[in-house]
Amino acid sequence: MENKEIDHISGTETTGHAWDGDLKELNTPLPKWWLSVLWVTIFWGIGYSIVYPHWFRGNEVIKGVFDWSSRGDVENALDAARARLAPQLAKLEKASLAEIKKDPDLSRFAVKAGEAVYGDNCVACHGTGANGVRPGSGYPNLTDSDWLYGGKLEDIVETIRVGIRSGHDEEKTNTMAAYGDDETLTPEQIKNVAGYVLSLSGETLPGADIKAGRQIYMEEAACNACHGDKGEGGATPGAPRLNDRIWLFGKDRIIDTITHGRRGVMPSWEKRGLTPAQIKAVAVYVYTRGGGQ
Ligand code: HEC
Ligand code: HEC
């Protein structure tokens, strides 16, 4: 700019823009310190994007100078955690259940590790903390003392390992017939036997002939062979108690259960890839939640 114009009031150079004739724009430069900070941040940003991963080539991230990544950080942390846990997991894997019970440190470790396994694998069906399960859903509450396949620690380990009707070679299973579907019993007989079943826990079913129901339960259909004479359950493994007001499939669905039968499926956690140590740990966790025998 050859002919600089200086505003005589402020002593500042003008840009040459004018509005309405006399109104002139002053050329006030940004303060030096401000500009320096701006340049520093720009260079810092460029440097940072070179040192740490930032740019892409196609779909691939170009690694930074130090080869650092946040995923790598997580992996390192996980490796460290695994290395820390390895000796205790190895000990847990080798320990007999009696030894775990006797060793307070190992039990505590098993419960902690088991809680994690439970949270990852069991909550969806059995509920949080092992008792958030909806009554009648077909998913047993694992904190009560009502066990289908035994509540000793050894039993729980085995159930979790092989599963129930899971397709595992050693699966636990016990099949209750579909008395209505295969026409072993008439709808009226089913109603009567359902009334008898309810009477075992002091409840009633309007219109059911309890005496006739008892005859079916004890003789004609021999329900007692699996559920016990008084509905105490467990005459064969997997047959639920019928006299405790705890209903695996729901009190309102008893007629349904007798008509169509039930086939509750619990996955085999050996097949699903849990290690023996993890299975032991989650069994100890379930066992200590309250209902273990
Ligand atoms: C061969 C053994 C067997 C016989 C016989 C048998 N059941 Fe069952 N019953 C079972 C099994 C096993 C279950 C659980 C099925 C499951 O978990 O999928 C069951 C479940 C039930 C349930 C559901 C309980 C609940 O908590 O929701 C009722 C009710 C029931 N049986 C009633 C009867 C009646 C009534 C008879 C006779 C007409 C009978 N059962 C005969 C094995 C048997
Ligand atoms: C897909 C749903 C599902 C998942 C996930 C699941 N379970 Fe089960 N579990 C069941 C069902 C259904 C039964 C009852 C089967 C029957 O009707 O006999 C059962 C039964 C059991 C039993 C036997 C209870 C008894 O009274 O004997 C134990 C123990 C058990 N589960 C533990 C676990 C553990 C531990 C996990 C996680 C590692 C787990 N379950 C994950 C569905 C599931």
Collect all residues with Cβ–Cβ distance below 8 Å to 166 and sequence separation of at least 6: 265, 266, 267, 268, 271
Q: How confident is the model at residue 2 (pLDDT cuts 50, 70, 90)?
A: low
The atom of ligand 1 lying closest to the CA of 246 is: 26
Query: Tokens standing for 209?
Result: 């002939």
**pLDDT tens digit sequence for 124-175:** 898 886 555 777 889 998 887 788 999 999 999 999 999 999 999 999 999 9
- Say how many C-beta atoms besides its own lie within 10 A of residue 134's C-beta: 10
pLDDT score, position 164 = 97
Residue type, 284: V
Give the burial string for 210-229 (b: 16+ CB within 10 Å, else e): bebbbbbbeeebebbebbbe
CA distance 140 to 234: 15
pLDDT at 114 > cutoff 90: yes
pLDDT digits (tens, 9 = 90+) for 194-231: 999 999 999 999 999 999 999 999 999 999 999 999 99
The minimum-distance atom of ligand 1 relative to the CA of 250 is 27
Retrieve residue 231's tokens: 């509905």
Q: What is the average pLDDT across 95-124?
A: 91
Q: How far is the CA of 145 from the centre of ligand 1 (A)?
A: 18
How far from 293 is each of 104, 108, 130, 153, 155, CA to CA, in Å? 18, 18, 16, 7, 10
Ligand with smallest separation from the Cα of 281: 2
Tokens representing 111 are 């419960």
Ligand 2 atom nearest residue 117's Cα: 38
pLDDT at residue 64, rounded to an integer: 85
Residue 163, CA distances (Å) to 54, 156, 175 in order: 48, 10, 15
Find where tokens 């150079």 sit. Answer: 13
Residue 248 and residue 240 in contact, taking contact as beta carbons nearer than 8 Å: yes
The answer to whether 66 and 51 are in contact (CB under 8 A) is: yes
Mutating to test ligand 1, I would choose from 159, 175, 196, 226 the residue with most ligand atoms within 8 A of its C-beta, which is: 226
**Predicted local confidence at residue 267, as pLDDT:** 97
Instruction: Provide the pLDDT for residue 69.
Output: 86
CA distances from 61 to 48, 52, 54, 107, 118 (A): 15, 10, 7, 45, 36
Is ligand 1 within 6 A of the CB of residue 262?
A: yes
What is the Å distance from ligand 1's center to 3 Cα? 105
253 alpha carbon – ligand 2 mean position (Å): 20
The bound ligand whose nearest atom lies closest to the alpha carbon of 200 is 1
pLDDT(103) > 80? yes
Query: Hey, what are 215's tokens?
Result: 């005859």
Distance CA 145, CA 148 (A): 10
- Check the CA dihedral 113-117-122-124 and report its sign: positive
Ligand 1 within 6 A of CB of 186? no
Which range has the worst mean pLDDT, 58-67, 101-110, 194-203, 262-271? 58-67
Ligand 1 contacts CB of residue 126 (under 6 A): no
